[in-house]
Amino acid sequence: MKNDRQSTRRPGSGDQPVRLQKLLAEAGLGSRRQIEGWISAGRVRVNGRLAKLGDQATRADRIRVDGHEVKLKPKRDSETQIIVYHKPEGELVTRRDPEGRPTVFRRLPRPKQGRWIAVGRLDINTSGLILFTTDGELANRLMHPSHEIEREYSVRILGEVAPATLERLTSGIELDDGLARFERITDQGGTGANHWYNVVLREGRNREVRRLWEAAGCTVSRLIRIRYGNIELGRRLFPGNWRPLTDEERTGLVTLAGLRVLERPALRRPASSSHSSRMREKRHFQVKLHKP
């Protein structure tokens, strides 16, 4: 039977064809999911043909997105950049907002090649750790549920939480989009009306942490992501600042994603992440995650 999925490989190309969305993601154009949306919307052409989901291509093919030619240079591991950013409350994880609200991308450094791809999202009222990379394949693997990479959050709850409620949250609660649960919950203490908990889950559904607590009848008054996989937020990265990963962090993260270890490129910090700037930010961030 003839395969009805189009292979766009041209004669003489010394490159093995791969799925189009994978090829473009590796070039840093976006995550696989984003690019699949572009293909479905008819925004991508390969060698003059309108691309379809399932099509394959190589770096030798002529690829256009929205009429603009995509230059696919041979990928080198050293070009992949990964940074961690401390998102403040009030910022959106989007490139442009019709209402003119601030976005995370305004504070990030200019990448050497490609563009920054956010590894997951945080809503406008959630602060904390968010990873950015120029490698779409890496971003896709870090977000994909099949890899079950842990996300940890510090949550401030208004009022007391009964032991039976904590049991429900780790056993599973049915949400609109299916059963969800926390892998574990750690009591971090608190006084007065507020109490802090650290919670861990292995997927990144939309507003999942808030929805789980709300489904259990609890009110979330503060939410901070403090870890993604092996990368921790720490106390020295203040809101609105970023840093490159250490060699050890980078190796661990790439291994979690099931990819081979990449070399870390040099990445200079902008003035906004200088020591003096961090000291100024410190005055505005005195909240300790384990206390209300």
Q: Which residues are catalytic, by number?
A: 123
> How do 127-133 and 219-228 pair as beta strands?
parallel
Residue type, 18: V
Q: Which two tokens stand for residue 63?
A: 């690829």
Alpha-helical regions (H) of the chain: 20-26, 32-40, 136-143, 163-171, 208-215, 247-256, 275-282
> How do 117-119 and 127-133 pair as beta strands?
antiparallel
**Looking at residue 92, what DSSP letter applies?**
B
Give CA–CA dist 280/130, Å, rounded: 22
Q: 3-state DSSP call for residue 29?
A: coil
Give CA–CA dist 76/94, Å, rounded: 27
User: Which residues make beta-bridge pairs with 184?
Assistant: 200
φ, ψ of residue 217 to 5 degrees: the values are 85, 20
- CA distances 235 to 38, 113, 157, 239, Å, are 39, 30, 21, 10
- CA distances 184 to 153, 157, 177, 181, 197, Å, are 11, 16, 21, 9, 10
Burial 164-199 (b: 16+ CB within 10 A, else e): ebbebbeeebebeeeebbbeebeebebeeeebbbbb
